[in-house]
A and B are shown apart, each in its own frame.
Chain A
Amino acid sequence: MIKSNSAGKIIDTTLTYVCLIAVAFIFFFPCLWIVLASFSKSGSIYSFDGFFPTSYSIHTFKKLFTDTTMYNYPRWFLNTLFVAVGSCVLGTLLTILTAYTMSRFDFKARKPMMKSTMVLSMFPSFMGMTAIYILMTQFGLINQIWGLILIYAAGAPMGYLTQKGFFDTIPKAIDEAAKIDGANSAQIFWKINLPLSKPIIVYTALTSFTWPWSDFILPKLLLKEKDLYTVAVGLMSLDETEFARFAAGSVFIAVPIVLLYFCLVKNMVNGIAEGAVKG
């Protein structure tokens, strides 16, 4: 009986691993392919031997950062970084403030506002692009990186519901205890609730960063000058013969996101743990 159980367990484990490896391979293969393609020596997708390049070189990466006459990748990269960091800081602040307000304060328009934002957030963001374009032209914010940051940051609080859900889990009794000790609302927020909300802040920051980092539609709409392009728009403007440069650019753009994830995931876990102990 024990023997058959252990055999079943082995089969179960093996099948699980086979399935996991197969699924992982399916998702990992495109990444592997683009990484290998970025090191292609010929630079052309049509000189591949089957799926993979015939010879490898780091020439494309060198070219990506040095040959900037037509395609100024370093500039695009800095623009993207600026937009993503700006949107991340401003967007996180606005989202957390909105979520906290909706979670902790009771005011007359609270319910209608919550309903409205929920309905509005159901519409895809590109629906309003024409209106955004016209508004931005009127405010003179076309060809302005700040214009992008404002739109991303202003749109971020629309998705405050997750953060509100988190604040709802922090017992209001803590706020009341602080109030008894003489703390005002701002002090309660900054000194009590915010330190307890590290995981959700990290999550918000991460999502606020990744959206502008990889967005294409809005920068394409608002940025007309090549030197102001973000990486997504810039890569799309590459000539059809520049495949290796496209692949190298796509690989390099993933670096900050991966770094950010590894830096923040630790804080996220720590935050969750701290929150659990304090809670």
Chain B
Amino acid sequence: MRRKLAMMLICAISVSAFSGCGKSEATEDKGDATATENTIFSGELEENVTIQVLENDTAISKGYFQQLIDAFNKEYEQYGITAVDANMDQYLDLANDGPYGYGPDVLYQANDVIMQYAQGKHILPLPVEKLECYSQVPKSAWQAYQVDIDGQTYTCGVPVNVQCPMLYYRRDLLPEDWKDNWDKDSNDVPDMVENWNDMYAFSVDRHNENGDTYGYMKSLYDVYFSSGFLFSYGGYIFGDNNTNPEDIGFSAGDSAKGAWVLSQLASTMNEDCIDDTITTNAYSKLADGTYFATMSTPDTYTTFFDELVNEYEADGLSEEEARAKAEENLVMTGIPKLPESGDLKEENPKLIDSKAMGGVNGYAISSYTKSPNACLAFVDFATKYDMIMLRNETLGISPAREDVSNEIGGLSESIYEKLEKGNIVLMPSIKEVAQIWTPGQTFFTDIAKDAFRSDSEKKYKDIDSMRAGLEEMCQQIHDAIFTLE
């Protein structure tokens, strides 16, 4: 018995001895944010180091990232600083992998992701005012990366591009007589891409002409895209400029009108709008002409474009001809205006601007990096005018820098203006935002399902019941946030 006990003790001691081995970063106290900022970013570059950069997949596949690191490595060759591809999945788990030394040094992510890491102190607050891009990026974009701790504001990311929903449509699928019948204001822009009332009417017509084709199609279940309709009529996510999770505002103002607009749009679609199907099939369905229009973010332009090129090539065009034709016919434009009344069947409605949920993608620096100053130098380099301009040329992003946006003009400038005007509602940068998605999906799914239910089975029969549904959704979000806290 005594021998057995001794053996057990030896085993226990061995296990605890082993568990003490290895790196100790996981338990290191990262300390106060102010101290970190002042002491870590001393300005003295760490020499002869390799920094791992996690970039966006599209930037890698289109070759932009290679150009960026080549240019950076050439510039910083004298210090022996080399930037390399972190070679990781873009949906990494810095909170779990970082402490053990397996995360990247610099990461490119959306503001909501970065700010969740910021709250867990997995990324460093940055001395952003030292960066070249500081004065060129609007205040609203910087705010997306700011966090208040003990009354002090820290900025944890550097904005690169603004993401917001855009309308994609095929010019060659417009009716031949669109200039006569679908351009009331004779501005050479089809009415159906200018306002939702005409988009609704066109969708009904197109489907009636051919039961296999549709006008506007989008997964309504997608909170990111659907919530913009609520915001346009006075809804919001969190109060106090998206910082107060006690105040949940999806049902505020006349947001129920937005839900009503969605329910009317659902009636012109098929049942794929209930779940995520349209989000994934839109590329090929827009290319083969089944859908006339859909909504997506600017970074998916190349995917829509490639699908359309494939379709034209399958029709017998050469690659060059197919690309030229796709460039001419695939249009990415702003979201149409909404009727103030919320009634898509209203003739000559008073129109209001559409708002949309958006995000700011940018760079952040991991708290676990051993070369913070070299990382900051990389971020500074990657956000300079030349690199952001190159990024736009290669990837078609809408830059957060004002000078680049002005230079490019067109859509980028209009997105920038929307951001400035507040028509792009940036995703909140607090961790509670994680609780809005599931209740939101449930509500929007029911709105979409109602279009395919008989009148007696509909969950939301009128605008008042939609308002009640939105209030219930807010309550569910509130419960989720404060139960899980």
Q: Which residues of A contact B (CB under 8 A)?
A: 41-47, 55, 69-70, 134-135, 137-140, 142-143, 224-227, 237, 239-241
Determine the chain B residues whose CB is within 8 A of the CB of A138 once the complex forms: 18-19, 21-22
5 contacts between A and B (CB under 8 A): A42-B284, A43-B310, A46-B285, A137-B22, A140-B22
Contact indicator B88/A225 (Cβ below 8 Å): yes
Count of A-B contacts judged by CB separation below 8 Å: 56
- Tell me the nearest residue of chain A to B22, going by C-beta: A138
Contact indicator B314/A41 (Cβ below 8 Å): yes
B24 CB, min distance to chain A CBs, angstroms? 10
Determine the chain B residues whose CB is within 8 A of the CB of A134 once the complex forms: 19
Contact indicator A137/B100 (Cβ below 8 Å): yes
Contact indicator A47/B89 (Cβ below 8 Å): no
Contact indicator B283/A241 (Cβ below 8 Å): yes
Q: Contact mask B85-97 → A, CB, 8 Å, 1/0?
A: 0011100100001
Determine the chain B residues whose CB is within 8 A of the CB of A69 once the complex forms: 60-61
Determine the chain A residues whose CB is within 8 A of the CB of B102 once the complex forms: 137, 142-143, 224
Which residues B4-29 have CB closer than 8 A to chain A?
A: 18-19, 21-23
Other contacts beyond A44-B307, A47-B288: 6, CB < 8 A: A42-B310, A137-B102, A142-B100, A143-B102, A226-B89, A241-B280
Which residues B204-225 have CB closer than 8 A to chain A?
A: none
Out of B18, B21, B57, B100, which one reaches A239, CB within 8 Å?
Answer: B57
A210 to B201, CA, bound (A): 57
- Tell me the nearest residue of chain B to A236, going by C-beta: B89
* Given A41-B314, A46-B285, residue A224 in contact with residue B97 (CB < 8 A): yes
Determine the chain A residues whose CB is within 8 A of the CB of B284 once the complex forms: 42, 44, 46-47
A44 to B288, CA, bound (A): 11
Which residues B281-300 have CB closer than 8 A to chain A?
A: 281, 283-285, 288
- Tell me the nearest residue of chain A to B86, going by C-beta: A225
Tell me if B136 is interfacial: C-beta within 8 Å of chain A.
Answer: no
Out of B18, B21, B88, which one reaches A224, CB within 8 Å?
Answer: B88
Contact indicator A139/B61 (Cβ below 8 Å): no
Contact indicator A42/B314 (Cβ below 8 Å): yes
A137 to B314, CA, bound (A): 50
Determine the chain A residues whose CB is within 8 A of the CB of B23 once the complex forms: 137
Contact indicator B21/A139 (Cβ below 8 Å): yes
Contact indicator B87/A225 (Cβ below 8 Å): yes
- Tell me the nearest residue of chain B to A136, going by C-beta: B100
Closest CB pairs A-B (n = 5): A46-B281, A138-B22, A44-B284, A137-B100, A46-B284
Contact indicator B88/A70 (Cβ below 8 Å): no
B303 CB, min distance to chain A CBs, angstroms? 6
Secondary structure of the A contact surface, majority rule: loop
* Given A69-B60, A139-B22, A226-B88, residue A44 in contact with residue B281 (CB < 8 A): yes
B197 CB, min distance to chain A CBs, angstroms? 29
Determine the chain A residues whose CB is within 8 A of the CB of B97 once the complex forms: 224
Q: Contact mask B447-466 → A, CB, 8 Å, 1/0?
A: 00000000000000000000
A239 to B300, CA, bound (A): 12
Determine the chain A residues whose CB is within 8 A of the CB of B92 once the complex forms: 224
Contact indicator A226/B283 (Cβ below 8 Å): no
Determine the chain B residues whose CB is within 8 A of the CB of A142 once the complex forms: 100, 102
Contact indicator A227/B87 (Cβ below 8 Å): yes
A240 to B61, CA, bound (A): 15
B290 CB, min distance to chain A CBs, angstroms? 9
Out of A43, A70, A241, which one reaches B60, CB within 8 Å?
Answer: A70
- Tell me the nearest residue of chain A to B281, going by C-beta: A46
A47 to B303, CA, bound (A): 15
Determine the chain B residues whose CB is within 8 A of the CB of A137 once the complex forms: 22-23, 100, 102
A196 to B362, CA, bound (A): 64
Determine the chain A residues whose CB is within 8 A of the CB of B285 once the complex forms: 46
A69 to B66, CA, bound (A): 11
A133 CB, min distance to chain B CBs, angstroms? 8
- Tell me the nearest residue of chain B to A243, going by C-beta: B280
A239 to B57, CA, bound (A): 9
- Tell me the nearest residue of chain A to B52, going by C-beta: A225
Determine the chain A residues whose CB is within 8 A of the CB of B88 once the complex forms: 224-226
A55 to B313, CA, bound (A): 13
A203 CB, min distance to chain B CBs, angstroms? 33
Determine the chain B residues whose CB is within 8 A of the CB of A143 once the complex forms: 102
Which residues B58-106 have CB closer than 8 A to chain A?
A: 60-61, 87-89, 92, 97, 100, 102
Determine the chain B residues whose CB is within 8 A of the CB of A241 once the complex forms: 280, 283, 303, 307
A139 to B20, CA, bound (A): 10
Contact indicator A55/B281 (Cβ below 8 Å): no
Determine the chain B residues whose CB is within 8 A of the CB of A224 once the complex forms: 88-89, 92, 97, 102
* Given A142-B100, A224-B97, A224-B102, residue A70 in contact with residue B61 (CB < 8 A): yes
Determine the chain B residues whose CB is within 8 A of the CB of A140 once the complex forms: 22
A240 to B283, CA, bound (A): 10
A139 to B285, CA, bound (A): 50
A150 CB, min distance to chain B CBs, angstroms? 15
A243 CB, min distance to chain B CBs, angstroms? 9
B400 CB, min distance to chain A CBs, angstroms? 25
- Tell me the nearest residue of chain B to A226, going by C-beta: B87
* Given A47-B284, A55-B314, A142-B102, residue A70 in contact with residue B22 (CB < 8 A): no
